[in-house]
Amino acid sequence: MTAMQKPLIGVLGGMGPLATVDFMQRVIELTPASRDQDHLALLVANLPSTPDRSTAIIDGGPSPLPALLDGIDLLNRNDAALIVVPCNSAHHWIDAMRARSAAPMLHIGEACVAALPAGVTRVAVLATGGTMVSGFYQTLLRNRGITPIEPDHAVQQHVTDCIREVKAGNIPASAEALSPAIRILAEQGAEAVIMGCTEIPLAARPLSAFAAELGVPLIDSTLALAHATVDFAREKGWLAQGV
């Protein structure tokens, strides 16, 4: 398979921009490659003007769906062979996006649940308020026989502060906001924590030792989606052979 023949993986991003770049880096790091030509071809639609997903879900604000569908159309016009969306809350509209997409679309929530350690029965979800109200993580977990632990108001406020600081580019402040949320959920019996917003893993990087001390695995939604993307490419034969 030559570089010209390699199928395009469409990335519908910009929600937010740092999370989109983080996803791209994870895909690159996970791809077995010894030269430029071995890497997967990514066509990234970085569309930060997409209306806020949580505001739409919770408060009935402007719907992001028209912008999401415009992004799908853009990727369709460029013959994307797979489409991924490194934004959890956008998956509230996954059915409408899949109906519009000419290519298969991976589901970030399904990728996260598949990445959970075997045997866990109580899993906390940290996400935007919109994702929590949407409820798709709770449904996916319950379908696996796992009890979801939902943050109370105080913990959700820590999460909201964390996400806001990442979007503003202030990673130290985002980590400071996130750490009490993880500690409280561990005290409540969480056996793992899904970081169900692609901003949260950026905040959690400085907290890996802290989480390890608590004994609570942190499931990175960005990394889970990147793994699912590379696995899809492997199954389709899009990866270089013998690397």
Q: 176 vs 124, 166, 193, CA distance in Å?
A: 19, 11, 17
Is the model's pLDDT at 240 over the cut of 90?
no
- Sequence-distant (≥ 6) Cβ neighbours of residue 116 within 8 angstroms: 123, 144, 146, 192, 194, 219
Question: Average pLDDT of 96-107?
Answer: 98
Q: pLDDT, tens digit, for every residue of 24-33?
A: 999 999 999 9
> 197 an active-site residue?
yes
- 4: confidence class by pLDDT, cuts 50, 70, 90: low
Does the pTM of the predicted model rise above 0.75? yes
Q: 46 vs 43, 67, 136, CA distance in Å?
A: 9, 11, 24
Q: Which of 87, 105, 166, 219 is the catalytic position? A: 87
Q: pLDDT, tens digit, for every residue of 169-204?
A: 999 999 999 999 999 999 999 999 999 999 999 999
Q: pLDDT, tens digit, for every residue of 139-164?
A: 999 999 999 999 999 999 999 999 99
Q: DSSP labels for 134-182?
A: H-HHHHHHHHTT-EEE---HHHHHHHHHHHHHHHTT-HHHHHHHHHHHH
Is the model's pLDDT at 166 over the cut of 60?
yes
Is the model's pLDDT at 118 over the cut of 90?
yes
Q: pLDDT, tens digit, for every residue of 84-96?
A: 999 999 999 999 9
The per-residue pLDDT for 127 is 98
What is the rounded distance in angstroms from the CA atom of residue 86 to the CA atom of residue 64?
Answer: 15
What is the four-CA torsion angle of 199, 202, 206, 212, rounded to 10 degrees? Answer: 70
What is the rounded distance in angstroms from the CA atom of residue 38 to the CA atom of residue 27?
Answer: 12
Only one residue has tokens 């959890």, namely 88
- Tokens of residue 216, six digits: 């609570």
Is the model's pLDDT at 3 over the cut of 80?
no
Question: Average pLDDT of 77-88?
Answer: 98
The per-residue pLDDT for 97 is 98
124 contacts 149 by C-beta, under 8 angstroms? yes
What is the four-CA torsion angle of 167, 173, 177, 182, rounded to 10 degrees? Answer: 90
Q: pLDDT, tens digit, for every residue of 38-53?
A: 999 999 999 999 999 9
Stated length of the chain: 243
What is the rounded distance in angstroms from the CA atom of residue 149 to the CA atom of residue 7?
Answer: 39
200 contacts 227 by C-beta, under 8 angstroms? no
The per-residue pLDDT for 1 is 46
14 contacts 48 by C-beta, under 8 angstroms? yes
Q: Which of 197, 216, 224, 233 is the catalytic position? A: 197
Count the alpha carbons within 13 Å of 33 in the hemisphere toward its beta carbon.
Answer: 16
Contacts 24+ apart (CB under 8 A), 31-35: 31/230, 31/233, 31/239, 32/239, 32/240, 32/243, 33/240, 33/243, 34/240, 34/243
Give the whole-number percent of the chain exceeding pLDDT 90: 95
> 87 an active-site residue?
yes
Is the model's pLDDT at 233 over the cut of 70?
yes
- Structural domains of the chain in order of their starting residue, each with its CATH number: 8-106+224-236 (3.40.50.1860), 109-221 (3.40.50.1860)
Question: Average pLDDT of 104-116?
Answer: 98
The per-residue pLDDT for 6 is 85
Backbone angles phi, psi at 61, to 5 degrees: -70, -175
